[in-house]
Amino acid sequence: MYLTKEVKEEIFSKYGSGKNDTGSAEGQIALFTHRINHLTEHLKNNRKDFNTERSLVKLVGKRRALLDYLTKKDIMRYRAIVKELGLRK
């Protein structure tokens, strides 16, 4: 599986306040970004996998909602995570 416990801990320790900080918006956005990148690569090879395509659209929506929340809550944290992850918006 592409998303093991060690990978999750690494993502949360890098973007959250610690490896057990799974609830921070930055950690969740980073995790969603990792999953979105993986699903995008999968869909490049499997164009007719519509279930995965639906899952990808739902993940993008969840990430967008978290980014909107972070924009309203603290614009500096939003700008930092967007710059760090290389997101366009």
Q: State the chain's mean pLDDT as an integer.
A: 93
pLDDT of residue 2: 80
Q: 33: domain CATH number? A: 1.10.287.10
pLDDT of residue 42: 96
Angle at 45 between CA 41 and CA 47, to 5 degrees: 105
The residues, any chain, with a CB within 8 Å of residue 40's CB and separated by 6 or more, are 56
Angle at 14 between CA 76 and CA 35, to 5 degrees: 95
The per-residue pLDDT for range 1-32, each reduced to its tens digit, is 688 999 999 999 999 888 888 889 999 999 99
Q: Which domain holds residue 17?
A: 5-85
Please identify which residue in the block is written with the tokens 């490049």: 44
The pLDDT-based confidence of 48 (bands split at 50, 70, 90) is very high
Cβ neighbour number for residue 64 with a 10 Å cutoff: 13
The per-residue pLDDT for range 52-61, each reduced to its tens digit, is 999 999 999 9
CA distance 9 to 47: 31
User: Which among 51, 15, 47 is positioned nearest to 33, based on CA atoms?
Assistant: 15
Tally of domains within the chain: 1
pLDDT at 89 over 60: no
